[in-house]
């Protein structure tokens, strides 16, 4: 059977906000799109079938964590992560670059070798080179692969940021060579440069010379103010190729998404829906609701009266409040499911409003709703 080649179609724009679709061999992704995070082959606390029912079109997996556990041999035995976790839609994999930052005490960088890690599981030495990262992502059978990059912590030190651009550009070239010429999959480059316009534009320019299938903004949503993140997007996103998908890595509050869509971003991922679900925080069209709060103790209304998945609309806020206080795992499962369902509703509304030319009104109505 002939596989579908990867492609991106820009359908229309409402000022900078873009409506498009990404075509992959595993299905179509309507953009702007939100990707729930399935770091270790699972979106925490939510059944795979239910993820599908929320309208989720693509999920994210992680190269570093899947390399450690279950490992390449197991993934190859199953033919990749899709079969292993029973997910038949597209998968994007983070390259392991984020772990270079988040696990910085356990690794060191060598531009010639790659990232040298001490496993957080058993202390074993692991070398994640650009080539190894691509090999692991191929074993995962990712539909969208990310280059290995160096994602620095939030800093105003241009020397550190320039070094990260140098490493990320060099590793990007090596990833492109290792990736080869598989037209059914995509390889995305990752721009660095912190909050400096000149460095971001320099990084983007170098990536465009290498030529990738899509482009990501890395090194944001790492502790800076939202206004700073949106300012640098405003100043630099238009330097990215118009005919390729644009991905903002790790930014995922509803207001982050609205602001970034307004600047021309197409793809998002974040752990927020499920992490919030585990702490009793629910996202709804009313705003954020802390279901631990005693005001919900006798509230008979459902979180979302339109959600039929797992009969979610039949569970009252009062019952969820009780489950949280009783420390029952069902609370985090139901609230996480609600949050992913809400996020996908939210993205559908964004797409519909871009299509109708009413995105600016939608933006104004909801930009402060979730603060």
Q: Measuring CA to CA, which residue among 286, 282, 287 is closest to residue 333?
A: 282
Q: Domain ranges in the chain?
A: 7-270, 277-338
- For residue 234, pLDDT over 90 is answered with yes
Architecture of domain 7-270: Alpha-Beta Barrel (3.20)
What's the pLDDT score for residue 126?
84
What's the pLDDT score for residue 101?
54
What's the pLDDT score for residue 1?
59
Which residues, 6 or more positions from 164, have their beta carbon under 8 angstroms from its beta carbon? Answer: 149, 150, 151, 152, 192, 219
What's the pLDDT score for residue 64?
87
What's the pLDDT score for residue 311?
83
The pLDDT-based confidence of 30 (bands split at 50, 70, 90) is very high
Q: What is the mean pLDDT of residues 217-244?
A: 97
Half-sphere exposure of 29 (CA within 13 A, CB side): 29
Catalytic annotation, pick one of 50, 94, 149, 213: 94
Q: What is the mean pLDDT of residues 144-150?
A: 96
What distance in Å separates the CA atoms of residue 44 and residue 114, rounded to the nearest whole number? Answer: 30
What's the pLDDT score for residue 116?
83
Torsion of CA 256, 257, 261, 266, to 10 degrees: 130
What distance in Å separates the CA atoms of residue 50 and residue 309, rounded to the nearest whole number? Answer: 7
What's the pLDDT score for residue 120?
73
Active site residue 94: yes
Burial 256-292 (b: 16+ CB within 10 A, else e): bbbbbbbbbbbbbbbbbbbbbbbebbbbbeeeebebe
What's the pLDDT score for residue 66?
94
What distance in Å separates the CA atoms of residue 146 and residue 251, rounded to the nearest whole number? Answer: 16
For 69-89, what is each residue's pLDDT tens digit? 999 999 999 999 999 999 999
Which residues, 6 or more positions from 262, have their beta carbon under 8 angstroms from its beta carbon? Answer: 15, 16, 17, 230, 359, 360, 363
For 190-206, what is each residue's pLDDT tens digit? 999 999 999 999 999 99
Angle of the 197-210 helix axis to the 226-236 helix axis, nearest 10: 50
For 302-342, what is each residue's pLDDT tens digit? 998 888 888 899 999 999 999 999 999 999 999 999 999 99
Which tokens hold the place of 127?
């070398």
What's the pLDDT score for residue 184?
98
Catalytic annotation, pick one of 143, 213, 266, 269: 269
Place of tokens 């420390």: 327
For 98-132, what is each residue's pLDDT tens digit? 666 555 565 678 889 988 877 777 878 888 899 99
Please answer whether residues 101 and 68 qualify as being in contact, where contact means their C-beta atoms are separated by less than 8 angstroms: no
């Amino acid at each position: 059977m002939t596989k579908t080649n990867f492609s991106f179609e820009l359908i229309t724009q409402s000022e900078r906000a873009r409506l498009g679709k990404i075509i992959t061999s595993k299905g179509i992704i309507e953009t702007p799109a939100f990707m729930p995070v399935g770091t270790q082959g699972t979106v925490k606390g939510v059944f795979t079938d239910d993820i599908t029912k929320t309208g989720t079109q693509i999920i994210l997996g992680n190269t570093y964590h899947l390399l450690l556990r279950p490992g390449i041999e197991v993934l190859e035995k199953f033919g990749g992560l899709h079969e292993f976790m029973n997910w038949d839609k597209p998968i994007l994999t983070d390259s392991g670059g984020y772990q270079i930052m988040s696990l910085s005490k356990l690794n060191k960088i060598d531009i010639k070798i790659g990232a040298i890690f001490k496993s957080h599981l058993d202390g074993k030495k692991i070398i994640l080179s650009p080539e190894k990262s691509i090999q692991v992502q191929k074993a995962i059978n990712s539909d969208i692969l990310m280059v290995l990059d160096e994602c620095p912590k939030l800093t105003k030190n241009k020397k550190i940021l320039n070094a990260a651009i140098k490493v990320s550009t060099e590793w990007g070239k090596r990833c492109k060579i290792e990736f080869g010429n598989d037209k059914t999959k995509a390889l995305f480059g990752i721009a660095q440069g912190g909050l400096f316009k000149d460095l971001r534009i320099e990084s983007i320019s170098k990536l465009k010379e290498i030529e990738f299938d899509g482009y990501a903004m890395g090194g944001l949503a790492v502790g800076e103010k939202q206004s700073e993140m949106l300012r640098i997007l405003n100043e630099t996103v238009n330097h990215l190729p118009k005919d390729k998908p644009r991905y903002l890595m790790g930014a995922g509050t509803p207001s982050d998404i609205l602001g970034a869509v307004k600047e021309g971003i197409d793809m998002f991922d974040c752990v927020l829906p499920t992490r919030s679900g585990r702490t009793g925080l629910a996202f709804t069209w009313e705003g954020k609701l802390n279901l631990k709060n005693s005001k919900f103790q006798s509230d008979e209304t459902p979180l979302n009266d339109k959600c039929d998945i797992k009969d979610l609309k039949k569970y009252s806020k009062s019952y969820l409040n009780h489950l949280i206080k009783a420390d029952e795992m069902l609370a985090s499962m139901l609230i996480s499911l609600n949050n992913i369902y809400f996020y996908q509703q939210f993205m559908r509304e964004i797409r519909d409003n871009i299509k109708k030319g009413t995105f600016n009104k939608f933006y104004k109505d909801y930009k402060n709703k979730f603060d």
